[in-house]
Amino acid sequence: MVVDLLRDYIRAKDENRPHLIPRVFAANACLEMRVKTDSISFPAVTQGAATIADVLVRRFNQTYENIYTFYLERPPAGAATPPAAFACDWLVGMSEKATGNLRVGCGRYEWVFQAEAPHRVERLAITIEAMQTLPPARLAPVFDWLLAFDYPWASAAAVREFAPPLKALEPVLAYLGR
């Protein structure tokens, strides 16, 4: 069940499918963004599934394309109902529509689920620890790296082991290796 919610979230955000957001978030859900870099910005707090769809899907996809987000941990398997909460690190790679520049970032998701069915997300805190910008010439090695993983799941160890040797990725890899 949690895996389905997490997969629908990634599909909504990465594939520009705002109609999936109500399947993931409760109508009155809260999104909190903790941005620790100046290279990307989001509102600090967003209330309601409809507004979350605007911020994380519609507006995000106006600026970025070729978006691949990976969870770097899996939720506990086999539970009929989701846990009260689930937290994991994440990695994202994408390109800017206007410039062709690449963005590679990482951080942490902290999910809180409704206790009652349908167990949608009532709160999500997203921490952005690093967001690096790379020139368009780095597209092939970065996307070859990202496409080697079982989207949307990867491990921090595999991400670090198979990363292309690019200096711009060092802050991301350092965070994931902490």
pLDDT of 52 > 90? The answer is: yes
Q: How many domains does one find in the chain?
A: 1
Q: Which domain holds residue 28?
A: 2-176
Tell me, what's the pLDDT at 84?
Answer: 85
pLDDT of 165 > 60? The answer is: yes
Residue 97 belongs to a domain with what CATH number? 3.10.450.50
Higher-pLDDT residue of 125 and 76 is 125
- Per-residue model confidence as pLDDT tens digits over 91-140: 999 999 999 999 999 999 999 999 888 889 999 999 999 999 999 999 99
Q: Which amino acid is located at 125 in the chain? A: A
pTM comes to 0.94
Tell me, what's the pLDDT at 76?
Answer: 80
pLDDT of 77 > 80? The answer is: no
pLDDT of 80 > 70? The answer is: no
**Radius of gyration of the chain from Cα atoms?**
16
Is residue 71 within 8 Å of 151, Cβ to Cβ? no
**H-helix or E-strand spanning residue 51:** helix 49-53
- Per-residue model confidence as pLDDT tens digits over 143-157: 999 999 999 999 999
151 half-sphere exposure, CB direction, 13 A CA radius: 18
